[in-house]
Amino acid sequence: MSVLFDIFDPKAAPRPIGIDLGTTNSLVACVRDGRPECLRDCDGVALVPSVVSYGARGHVVVGAEAARLQSAHPEDTVASVKRFMGRGADDPETRRLSSLRFEPPTSEADSRVVRFRVADRVVSPVEVSAEILRVLAARAREELNGVGGVVITVPAYFDDAQRQATKDAAKLAGLEVLRLLNEPTAAALAYGLEKKQNGTFAVYDLGGGTFDVTILRLDDGVFHVRATGGDSALGGDDFDRAIAESRVLPALGVTAPGPDVRRLALDLARRAKHALTEHAEVELSLPREGSAPLVLTRAELDGILRPIVERTGVACRRALRDAELSPTELTGVILVGGSTRSPTVRAYVRELFGVEPLCELDPDEVVALGAAAQAELLAGEGGVDDVLLLDVLPLSLGIETMGGVVDKILPRNTTIPAEARSTFTTYADRQTGFELHVVQGERELAADCRSLARFTLRGIPPMPAGMARLEVTFSVDADGLLHVSAREVTTGIEQRVEVKPTYGLDDDAIEQMLLSALDHGEDDLAARRLAEARIESEQVLTVTRQALATDAALLEPGERDQIEAAMAALVAALDCANASLIHLANEDLERATHAFAGRRMDAAIARAIGGKQLGEVERSVEGAKGIEAHLAAERS
């Protein structure tokens, strides 16, 4: 028998790697002989449990050994940390069935980040994830001649905060991130390279803690994401919780379980879930003297899991609708994530899409394989022209304008990398700064969207309202991270900001954003119309009051009474909060002031041309026309 060994070449360049930083398990892969493969330990195991256990005096254990310590030391062992990435201390996720001790925030800054008290220290999700990444990188360095760069996969529905937290963890682990790659795109990349198949596919990715669905078009090496959706807080962990709460905890007879009992219940639930993937029935021995084994059947498990699995259908149907496709138009459905091994999940996917799902590649490994392939391409080791990834934004990005209305600059499902700009103006006279509020979501009002960042552009010379011009540019890079620049056009004053949003935003609302936008679509549009009508009317009232004060001599007899009556009617309409009534009252005021406004314009032109030459007069008239056109544009 001949044994083959890799020859170590000290002069060989460091190799790029792909990492699937998963909720339950993580993997590292690289490309060898033109094909991606997962790197394994000495026992041939590729999966590294995403579990970190902390001991005294800085002792840290990661992976399978940490998972074994979890039952004995539940409060000092962090599992499924991915679910806490980008979350704040008051996030509902931190209050679910968990054995962890959450460090209470002592300041507003502390409240933005979840922190765990473990052993003799306090750690954040970023620090815990960095420990997992260090172990994966060390495995790669043992087999390769160093690590040159890494592609790390993230759920497609990870928002800016969660993506930035992932990059921060990689930096803390000493890794150079070539790109953050959406997990469904990585899976499709692995299948596309493996099967060389064109067509339109749905990638159904249900892992331990997140769910994503992506509709992709594969066409001669071009991977174009048509639509994406999902839930960043839905996965196999929810299966375990449901089984533990409905069957295991009642069988244990504990009404107020402590951390050790919760951990035990989750371990038994996970064991039952895995056993029922292959068998029709399982018996669980309970650690209570004289207790009969807990018997659970696959039919009972289906009843427990079905409501959770059905939650994935909402995102799937919406993604198909966004891609303007029906299930029958799909070439296939790719299963990704360990939770898709469940017969309940596979039966639901078959029912939902009407096709037998593709599962030739190991659903636990397929994402890491795709990440390795992309890392090889980005490092210039593969045929860069062979594959092109065109991903999309999962949610719209915009700016809050007057009245709390959102101006969407980059709509959702925009192909990234992308850049777009929009121009705004001042609302008040002599305004010397712009307060910019960057938001993410589909609702019409900023209060109903996710806040990403706030910053101020100062130093604008005082000008009349509407004269300053602020050009705001949104740029989203290949990692899905947002960069914002703001420039006042007339002065050239500019400010740039890399949006690193507060980690404490409520990520549980991600999946609800689109649902809320659909459920409240008509109400949102009505609220937007009302807000815009109020702003326009208040501007008209302000200008009219100033005109009456400065040019009262130009009024005809009885004209002031008509204008003031129209103004009073408009103020009353504003109190009624009815957009249609406000518009009608606005039109009445415009008719009442039309003649007066004409006389003011004539007087202004007469003052401007007094004693001037013909050329100067023509320029003054053109300037007046420009002002009039500008005011008309502002009204429109």
| Residue 297 belongs to a domain | no
Catalytic residue among 160, 205, 364, 376: 205
Query: For position 225, what pLDDT does the model report?
Result: 81
For 304, list phi and psi in degrees, rounded to 5: -75, -40
**Which positions ≥6 away from 161 have C-beta within 8 Å?**
86, 501, 502, 503, 505, 507
Supply the CATH number for residue 586's domain: 1.20.1270.10
Q: Which of 336, 368, 392 is the last residue of a domain?
A: 392
Q: Is there a single domain that holds both residue 377 and residue 493?
A: no
Q: Which domain holds residue 585?
A: 521-635
Mean pLDDT of 593-614: 72
| Nearest-angstrom CA–CA distance, 196 and 374 | 16
Indicate whether 384 pLDDT > 50: no
Q: Which amino acid is at 417?
A: P
Residues 427-453: pLDDT tens digits? 677 777 778 888 887 777 888 777 777
Q: Is residue 547 part of a domain?
A: yes
* Number of Cα atoms under 13 Å in the Cβ half of residue 304: 23
Burial of 566 (0-12, 13-18, 19+ CB in 10 A): buried
The band of 504, judged by pLDDT with boundaries at 50, 70 and 90, is very low
Task: Based on the fold, state whether residues 381 and 409 are members of the same structural domain.
Answer: no
Catalytic residue list contains 82: yes
Q: Is residue 600 part of a domain?
A: yes
Q: How confident is the model at residue 525 (pLDDT cuts 50, 70, 90)?
A: low
Residues 406 and 424 in one domain: yes
Considering 463, 487, 519, which residue would you say is the last residue of a domain?
Answer: 519
Task: Choose the catalytic residue: 75, 76, 82, 444.
Answer: 82
Q: What is the pLDDT of residues 219-248, one digit of tens each?
A: 776 777 888 888 877 888 899 999 999 998
**Are 486 and 606 within one domain?**
no
Instruction: List the single range of 280-289, 510-519, 564-573 with lowest mean pLDDT.
Output: 510-519
Give tens-digit pLDDT for 59-113: 899 999 999 888 888 889 999 898 888 877 666 665 564 678 888 877 665 666 7
Task: Report the pLDDT averaged over residues 132-159.
Answer: 88
User: Among this protein's residues, is 205 annotated catalytic?
Assistant: yes
Evaluate whether residue 173 is within a structural domain: yes
- Asked about 273 being catalytic, the answer comes back as no
Whether 512 and 558 share a structural domain: no
Domain annotation covers residue 1: no
Among 183, 231, 400, 479, which one carries the catalytic annotation? 183
Do residue 168 and residue 69 come from a single domain? yes
CA-nearest of 71, 423, 127, 530 to 260 is: 71
What's the domain count of the chain? 3
User: And the tokens for 499?
Assistant: 């949006």
* Pair 39, 51 in one domain: yes
Verify whether residue 183 is a known catalytic residue: yes
Task: Output the 3-class SS for 175-229.
Answer: CCEEEEEEHHHHHHHHHHHHHCCCEEEEEEEECCCCEEEEEEEEECCEEEEEEEE
Do 372 and 479 fall within a single domain? no
CATH code of the domain in which 461 resides: 2.60.34.10
C-alpha 305/C-alpha 310 separation (Å) is 9
Give a yes or no: residue 431 inside a domain. yes
Q: Same domain, yes or no, for 381 and 461?
A: no
**Pick the catalytic residue: 20, 160, 238, 391?**
20
Instruction: Examine the domain organization and report whether 418 and 313 are in the same domain.
Output: no
Contact 466, 634 (CB under 8 A): yes
Domain membership of residue 532 (yes or no) is: yes
211, two tokens: 């769910």
Same domain, 503 and 621: no
Report yes or no on 357 lying in a domain.
yes
| Pick from 369-373, 458-462, 473-477: least confident | 458-462
Reading phi first (left if > 0) and then psi (alpha if -120 to 50, else beta), residue 539 is in alpha
Q: What is the CATH number of the domain that holds 221?
A: 3.30.420.40
pLDDT at 310 > cutoff 80: yes
Last residue of a domain, one of 472, 504, 519: 519
Lowest-confidence range among 44-53, 496-505, 578-587? 496-505
Residue 88 sits in the same domain as residue 228: yes
